[in-house]
Amino acid sequence: MYRDCLKSAHRIPDGSQRSMYLDYTRQGFRDRARLPHDAAEVRRAVKDAEEQLESMNYYHSIRELKERGEHQATATSSTHTASATIAQVRDSTKKQAITERQATSHHKELQQTTGVLLEEKREVVETWLMAALPELHPDDLATYSQQLVGEGFDSLSLLESELLEDDLDFAKKAHKRAIVRFYKVKPASYA
């Protein structure tokens, strides 16, 4: 199970996320290494690991399908007529020149950097959500991740240590219950 979890984490394309999930996996197994073999807690830990592994593999398969779909769309679009392609290249070149001029300002660079960081945080939260709700609709996934990041739950450590049940009030009831049950989220009275 441990090796399978590590293999799945190694499939994450983003280096920082991959590192974070590898650390998360190692720490999770390390924390539970001394549990008695016949304990109900061990069965729960194994079940949790299996569910998370299944969710991660599902995430990988969706990402790979999406990448293949984008590749096929690119191949299909390349069969357009030459005049349409030339016009697209011309328009693209003009847009690129405008973008390059705008990017020279420090303010623009700062906005771009902030946007990338925000997108990476959303991806971490989306992966966390998909583990509990593997069939979550993309619109709900975007809404929930944006809400959590906006409220400051933008890393695994904050989600796992600080998230309380009331912090999920924006979610649909069934989704909230599934997240609470899957991650054993503490009730609001815990704070």
Q: How far apart are CA 57 and CA 64, in angstroms?
A: 10
Q: Tell me, yes or no, whether 187 and 143 share the same domain.
A: yes
pLDDT tens digit sequence for 93-125: 555 545 445 544 444 444 444 455 678 888 888
Tell me, yes or no, whether 15 lies in a domain.
Answer: yes
Q: Tell me, yes or no, whether 1 and 70 share the same domain.
A: yes
Q: How far apart are CA 46 and CA 44, in angstroms?
A: 5
Q: Which of 65, 81, 97 is the last residue of a domain?
A: 81
Q: Tell me, yes or no, whether 110 and 177 share the same domain.
A: yes
Task: Give the pLDDT confidence score for residue 91 in this predicted structure.
Answer: 58
Task: Give the pLDDT confidence score for residue 105 in this predicted structure.
Answer: 46
Tell me, yes or no, whether 111 lies in a domain.
Answer: yes
Tell me, yes or no, whether 45 lies in a domain.
Answer: yes
Q: Tell me, yes or no, whether 186 and 116 share the same domain.
A: yes
pLDDT tens digit sequence for 41-83: 788 888 888 888 888 888 888 888 887 776 665 555 554 444 5
Query: For the packed helices 82-103 and 106-132, what is the interaxial angle rounded to 10 degrees?
Result: 110
Q: Which of 12, 46, 81 is the last residue of a domain?
A: 81
Q: How many domains does the chain have?
A: 2
Q: Tell me, yes or no, whether 116 and 175 share the same domain.
A: yes
Task: Give the pLDDT confidence score for residue 90 in this predicted structure.
Answer: 55
Q: Tell me, yes or no, whether 111 and 33 share the same domain.
A: no
Phi and psi at residue 120, to the nearest 5°: -65, -40
Q: Tell me, yes or no, whether 62 and 118 share the same domain.
A: no
Tell me, yes or no, whether 95 lies in a domain.
Answer: no
Q: How far apart are CA 111 and CA 93, in angstroms?
A: 22
Tell me, yes or no, whether 88 lies in a domain.
Answer: no
Q: Tell me, yes or no, whether 73 and 18 share the same domain.
A: yes
Tell me, yes or no, whether 157 lies in a domain.
Answer: yes
Q: Which long-range contacts (CB under 8 A, 24 or more apart) does 28-31 make?
A: 29/2, 29/5
Q: Tell me, yes or no, whether 74 and 128 share the same domain.
A: no
Tell me, yes or no, whether 126 lies in a domain.
Answer: yes
Quote the domain boundaries for residue 135: 106-191
Q: Tell me, yes or no, whether 53 and 133 share the same domain.
A: no
Tell me, yes or no, whether 76 lies in a domain.
Answer: yes
Residues of the chain with pLDDT > 90: what percent? Answer: 9
Q: Tell me, yes or no, whether 1 and 72 share the same domain.
A: yes
Q: Tell me, yes or no, whether 189 and 117 share the same domain.
A: yes
